[in-house]
Amino acid sequence: MKSSTRIKLVQKIYEKTKNPEGLIDFGKDPFLRHIKKVFKGYFEKNAELELLLSDNLSNNISIKNLDVLLKIIIKSSIYELKYCKKIPFKVVIDQYLDVTNKFYGSDQKRLVNGVLDSVAKAGK
């Protein structure tokens, strides 16, 4: 799987978040099953993902201050770390760091890396 697949996933989650009643067209992708699994799981497990994100943020950062898109990136990656065990955690982290880099700069990339590293270590 490529970072571009995860970019598409993040965009679809963002689209659904901004327009909950709208229909989501996933288009064609060789990893469409995975995209739909994470998309569905993201919304089903949202409360749990929100708690995990909050628990793994450093004390000087509030979840309320995070941009919606950044929260989506982190929570979808947390979902994959917890529920997509067939994908090595290093691959998930690396690809979501690429996604973060596409939308943000290095400060947010460090934040995402720190949160995901903490979640990955806690899940072992």
Q: For 13-32, what is each residue's pLDDT tens digit?
A: 999 999 999 999 998 889 99
Higher pLDDT: 2 or 112? It is 112
Q: Rounded CA gap, 43 and 8, in Å?
A: 16
Give residue 44's pLDDT. 97
**Three-class SS state of 31:** coil
Q: Which domains does the chain have, with CATH numbers?
A: 3-122 (1.10.940.10)
Binned at pLDDT 50, 70 and 90, residue 2 comes out as: confident
Q: Which amino acid is at 75?
A: K
Give residue 124's pLDDT. 56
pLDDT tens for residues 30-73? 999 999 999 999 999 999 999 999 988 877 787 888 899 999 99
Write down the pTM of the prediction.
Answer: 0.93
| Alpha carbons within 13 A on the beta-carbon side of 116 | 29
Cβ atoms of 52 and 107 within 8 Å: the answer is: no
Per-residue pLDDT, averaged over 83-111, amounts to 91
